[in-house]
Amino acid sequence: MYFQHHLFFCLNERSNGENCCAQHGAQSLFDFAKRRVKELGLAGAGQVRVNKAGCLDRCDEGPVLVIYPAGVWYTVIDTNDIEEIIQTHLIQGQIVDRLQLA
């Protein structure tokens, strides 16, 4: 695998006013995750990649992100949630149960 963990953040914005991740601060959470992964030296080949994604079709549970190749879905509220995912899932290899989506 080229990346050990590949994070996709839904940054979809719906022009019709329907619920979407963009309405719930997804961009700032993405920016924080990207910055923290770099600060911690986790970014790059063989490690972690943080990417923007269009609609992940879980609008009512957003903001959402999914980590591949494990296929683990998370819903996040703030940067504390992102930090917990970075420390627990990316570094320690454990799923953050309280943030995981079924």
Cβ proximity of 96 and 84 under 8 Å: yes
Cβ proximity of 48 and 87 under 8 Å: no
User: What is the model's pTM?
Assistant: 0.93
Which residues, 6 or more positions from 12, have their beta carbon under 8 angstroms from its beta carbon?
Answer: 20, 21, 22, 53, 54, 55, 56, 59
Q: Which two tokens stand for residue 29?
A: 């959470």
Cα–Cα dist 64/89, whole Å: 15
Q: Which two tokens stand for residue 43?
A: 């970014």
| pLDDT band (50, 70, 90) for residue 87 | very high
pLDDT digits (tens, 9 = 90+) for 15-50: 887 788 888 889 999 999 999 999 999 999 999 999
